Amino acid sequence: MTATDKVLVLDFGGVISRTLFETHDLSEQALGLVQGTLNWQGPFNPEADPLWQAMQNDEISERDYWLTRAREVGELLGEDWNSMQQLVQRARGDDVMSIIRPEFLAAIETVKQAGGRLAILSNELDLFYGAGFRSQCDFLNDFELIVDATYTEILKPDPRAYELITQGLGIAAEQCVFVDDQLRNIRGAQAVNMRTVHFDVMKPAEGYRRALELMEI
């Protein structure tokens, strides 16, 4: 099976964009907060982030984690925030491409040149980023299919989420190379026989290197 027979299926979040953990300085600048105010580090320092540990232990969902963080940041500004979207839209600023991983852009260009196909499977693309975010990301035009649970309401690791990719593209699960930074979602993909890369946000180049290897590029 060569690259032309395969689809690179990417989570959005930390796989495509730099995480909010990595851009606290930019967030603080955009929000008018004193540098160092935002100190939760998620996977970069899990021991100091009990809420992150609770999410990793499946005690709370990823959406619960970010809703809590959004409310905390809103309180710092004297505002009542009740959605992750408010945090992302206010903290990310207007320069969208400044948060997109260069390793991602290089990888999708490589896949395109090799004749491979591209898809996105996200639990909360528009929920977190807002529907208008897509219009600022020209690279999304390279993706044949975008499945977003904001609308389907079928969250990874539910097997049906992955089936929306295979059915939508008319392919077998074995043709997919699925990349996600959450282990629960990786296990879900493995359960339906997708090839997988558990993406380490601290080593993005390594994650994309492995994905291209599985694409046989």
Burial environment of residue 52 by CB neighbours within 10 A (0 to 12, 13 to 18, 19 or more): buried
Boundaries of domain holding 69: 24-93
My answer on whether 38 and 61 are in the same domain is yes
Which CATH number does the domain housing residue 118 bear? 3.40.50.1000
pLDDT tens, position by position, 26-85: 999 999 999 999 999 999 999 999 999 999 999 998 889 999 999 999 999 999 999 988
Number of neighbours of residue 58 by Cβ within 10 angstroms? 8
In angstroms, what CA-CA distances link 145 with 100, 165, 187? Answer: 19, 8, 22
Q: Which of 92, 63, 93 is nearest to 71 (CA)?
A: 63
My answer on whether 109 and 89 are in the same domain is no
Q: Would you say 125 and 148 are in contact if contact means Cβ atoms under 8 Å apart?
A: yes
pTM above 0.85, yes or no: yes
Domain boundary among 46, 70, 93: 93
Predicted confidence at residue 189, as pLDDT, reads 98
My answer on whether 127 and 200 are in the same domain is yes
Predicted confidence at residue 173, as pLDDT, reads 98
CA 169 to CA 53: how far, in whole Å? 35
**CA 144 from centroid of its chain's CA atoms:** 17
Question: Which residue type is seen at 1?
Answer: M
Burial environment of residue 135 by CB neighbours within 10 A (0 to 12, 13 to 18, 19 or more): exposed
Predicted confidence at residue 102, as pLDDT, reads 97
Q: What is the Cβ-side half-sphere exposure of residue 201, based on CA atoms within 13 angstroms?
A: 24
> Which is more confidently placed, 1 or 24?
24
Q: Strand 145-148 and strand 117-122: pairing?
A: parallel
pLDDT tens, position by position, 173-205: 999 999 999 999 999 999 999 999 999 999 999
pLDDT tens, position by position, 122-171: 999 998 888 788 888 999 999 999 999 999 999 999 999 999 999 999 99
My answer on whether 40 and 131 are in the same domain is no
Q: Which residues pair with 8 in a beta bridge?
A: 118, 177
Residues, the chain:
217
- Terminus-to-terminus CA distance in the chain, angstroms? 11
pLDDT tens, position by position, 88-119: 889 987 678 889 999 999 999 999 999 999 99
Provide the 3-class DSSP secondary structure of residue 147: strand
CA 207 to CA 147: how far, in whole Å? 21
CA 12 to CA 122: how far, in whole Å? 6
Predicted confidence at residue 63, as pLDDT, reads 86
Predicted confidence at residue 210, as pLDDT, reads 98
Predicted confidence at residue 69, as pLDDT, reads 98
Interval 8-12 mean pLDDT: 97
Predicted confidence at residue 186, as pLDDT, reads 98
My answer on whether 191 and 165 are in the same domain is yes
Q: How many domains, in total, are found in the chain? A: 2
My answer on whether 208 and 182 are in the same domain is yes
